[in-house]
Amino acid sequence: MAKSLFEQLGGTYRKESDYLIPCLTVPVAEEQPIGTWGQRHLNYLKQHQKVTYTNFLTSGKLNIYLADINRQAQERFERLIEDMKQAQGITEQLKAENALEWTGRLNNIRTCARETVERELIYT
């Protein structure tokens, strides 16, 4: 009997009763921690990009991909906050003089930065 394409490519079967079941495994990849940004993107992929999610999952690259997205998003978030603080003149002097105003303005900046990161990296 001629070998199937699966066998020609190195695949093997195991016998269950009268059936041959292909032995399929997902490549083992190094587990990396995934933060908030990566979790948000994972939820987005599961709900709106099912084919992309399945491809990453079956290739064993999902964890690496999400860790990279998480790192990029965190770096972008921090850079946006610093740029906006500088553009709006939010300094440590303002913090010392009027902590309530400083807190309100910084919270506004964080919200804007979070929305920008979500739009640019997480929900695309």
Angle among Cα 40, 35, 65 to the nearest 5 degrees reads 75
What are the angstrom distances between the C-alpha of 32 and each of 71, 89, 97?
Answer: 11, 37, 42
User: How high is the pLDDT of residue 31?
Assistant: 84
- pLDDT, averaged in runs of 10, over the chain (124 residues): 81 88 76 94 97 92 95 98 96 94 96 97 93
User: How high is the pLDDT of residue 62?
Assistant: 94
User: How high is the pLDDT of residue 25?
Assistant: 76
Place of tokens 């999610």: 53
Q: What pTM was estimated for this model as a whole?
A: 0.76
User: How high is the pLDDT of residue 78?
Assistant: 98
Secondary element (H or E) of residue 111: helix 99-117
User: How high is the pLDDT of residue 36?
Assistant: 96
